Chains A and B, each alone.
Chain A
């Protein structure tokens, strides 16, 4: 409970004694480059393969002759939009970006770089953490859109190349009974997960105490706590918005 309280105080400190807009803007752009460009290759790779595997496994399970082939791409679409793109990618995001944020802030803490900022009268939470959270809120939904597209494309390529499904059937299945709220839902989840991963990881890193070993521990805790928060939020959002 004490840690949850500290987390909310930490979030409150994001908006106290703010730096100028120009400084914040520059820091946010830097973080966007770090978060977005450095993660895009991994996201494209993972999501393409997930889409491909989902297609193969769905086809493997649909053996009844009266079920049309386009159901395969319909299943791939629903799984991608509802769960794979926003949630599974959020877990990968926590592992890559979250651990990096915690490690970065943890190292700055143990090498007194954060103290140096505070001595200069700079609110280190606002200066270091707010740009990470804002950049995350911009970049993660974009990454989710890229991941979703790659997943559907991966399914298409494998489905067509292996002869599981014809191109027209795959496209038909993607469009069949499409409910555009699933895209809205995926983006709502993306914003929520982006905030949770960046804020929790920053919180864990910012309050690192000790040395190099503790920085490693903070990074691990950042990932573990973020993943738990993602799963809880995933359930709550599904219950609130889909039930």
Chain B
């Protein structure tokens, strides 16, 4: 479980996040949603420690990550897996080397065991024969899958996905969403997904936090999102033509 308490962040005069608190539960995908530029990715970066919040604290299973000592931070970071928007694969390494990277750096696993683990996760994400390919040879969907494989190879307790569907066609998006949900349940991870894709919201949004102009305006499950009573959330949800048509039909 991850808990955030009163997170605020400004860049210069511009306040990006305003006093956001919340709990992200284990074993189900937690979604942070909102329109572009509302601060979702900054919030995610505050949670994983890439950006230090001005105020507020992040707890990983009651361990204070924001103000904790270096040992706690190192321990938590070893338990984190993250999928970046563009995959963030290392260009100079093959798919296999990319996936094996966290094992090389963070563990002292024997070579054979590492190879076995890499093959296992690559098969899990549907890329069993892509070991020797370079990132430049991969499609957008494949890059995301390799990114997911790298994120889960070290059995993370916490999985973060920043816009996992950006730049993907709807079918591939659904596959990626399903993969994230399956991995979350199978590995019992605390998963946080940042997205503005309504398909993801309706597909895997068991626990959703809606951010608007840096503030948390709503929290709940996808089954309740269409009747939240929050105008800004309705504007966001029903900006999607399919959702709008559904509303008019019901």
Please give the residue numbers on chain A whose beta carbons come within 8 Å of chain B beta carbons, in ascending order.
17, 19, 23, 107-108, 111-113, 115-116, 118-122
A113 to B160, CA, bound (A): 15
- Where chain B touches its partner, the secondary structure class is mixed
**Does B56 count as interface, using CB distance less than 8 angstroms?**
no
List residues of chain B with CB within 8 A of the CB of A122. 105
**Does B84 count as interface, using CB distance less than 8 angstroms?**
yes
Q: Are A121 and B88 in contact (CB under 8 A)?
A: no
Known: A111-B86, A112-B86. A119 touches B91 (CB 8 A): no
- 29 contacts across the A-B interface (CB closer than 8 A): A17-B70, A19-B105, A23-B105, A107-B91, A108-B91, A111-B86, A111-B88, A111-B91, A113-B88, A113-B89, A113-B91, A115-B50, A115-B88, A116-B88, A118-B49, A118-B50, A119-B49, A119-B50, A119-B77, A119-B160, A120-B77, A120-B78, A120-B80, A120-B102, A120-B105, A121-B73, A121-B74, A121-B77, A121-B78
Of chain A, the residue at the smallest CB distance from B73 is A121
List residues of chain B with CB within 8 A of the CB of A108. 91
Known: A121-B73, A121-B74, A121-B77. A112 touches B105 (CB 8 A): no
Of chain B, the residue at the smallest CB distance from A114 is B88
Contacts between the two chains (Cβ within 8 Å), count:
48
Q: Are B90 and A113 in contact (CB under 8 A)?
A: yes
A-contacting residues, B156-191, CB 8 Å: 160
Known: A107-B91, A121-B74, A121-B77. A116 touches B84 (CB 8 A): yes
Partner of A120, one of B70, B91, B106: B106
A121 to B74, CA, bound (A): 6
Please name 16 further chain A to chain B contacts, defined as beta carbons within 8 Å, in addition to the given A23-B105, A113-B88, A119-B80, sorted by A numbering: A19-B105, A111-B86, A112-B84, A112-B85, A113-B90, A115-B45, A115-B84, A116-B82, A119-B48, A119-B49, A119-B50, A120-B78, A120-B80, A120-B101, A121-B73, A121-B78
A26 to B198, CA, bound (A): 45
List residues of chain A with CB within 8 A of the CB of B80. 119-120
A-contacting residues, B33-68, CB 8 Å: 45, 48-50
Of chain B, the residue at the smallest CB distance from A23 is B105
Of chain B, the residue at the smallest CB distance from A113 is B88
A-contacting residues, B69-102, CB 8 Å: 70, 73-74, 77-78, 80, 82, 84-86, 88-91, 101-102
List residues of chain A with CB within 8 A of the CB of B50. 115, 118-119
List residues of chain A with CB within 8 A of the CB of B82. 116, 119
A116 to B85, CA, bound (A): 11
Of chain A, the residue at the smallest CB distance from B83 is A116
A111 to B88, CA, bound (A): 6
List residues of chain A with CB within 8 A of the CB of B86. 111-112
A192 to B37, CA, bound (A): 45
Closest chain A CB from B138 CB (angstroms): 14
Of chain A, the residue at the smallest CB distance from B85 is A112
Most chain B beta-carbon contacts within 10 A, residue among A19, A23, A111: A111
Closest chain B CB from A127 CB (angstroms): 8
Of chain A, the residue at the smallest CB distance from B147 is A116
Of chain B, the residue at the smallest CB distance from A110 is B86
List residues of chain A with CB within 8 A of the CB of B105. 19, 23, 120, 122
Of chain B, the residue at the smallest CB distance from A119 is B82
Of chain B, the residue at the smallest CB distance from A16 is B70
Of chain A, the residue at the smallest CB distance from B89 is A113
Of chain A, the residue at the smallest CB distance from B80 is A119
A115 to B86, CA, bound (A): 12
List residues of chain B with CB within 8 A of the CB of A23. 104-105
Closest chain B CB from A120 CB (angstroms): 6
A112 to B106, CA, bound (A): 19
List residues of chain B with CB within 8 A of the CB of A17. 70, 74
A23 to B105, CA, bound (A): 8
A112 to B160, CA, bound (A): 14
List residues of chain A with CB within 8 A of the CB of B89. 113
Closest chain B CB from A86 CB (angstroms): 31
A173 to B85, CA, bound (A): 64
Most chain A beta-carbon contacts within 10 A, residue among B50, B70, B80: B50
A170 to B197, CA, bound (A): 76
Most chain A beta-carbon contacts within 10 A, residue among B70, B77, B102, B105: B105
Known: A113-B90, A113-B91. A121 touches B106 (CB 8 A): yes
A-contacting residues, B101-125, CB 8 Å: 101-102, 104-106
Of chain A, the residue at the smallest CB distance from B51 is A115
List residues of chain A with CB within 8 A of the CB of B106. 120-121
Most chain B beta-carbon contacts within 10 A, residue among A17, A107, A111, A119: A119
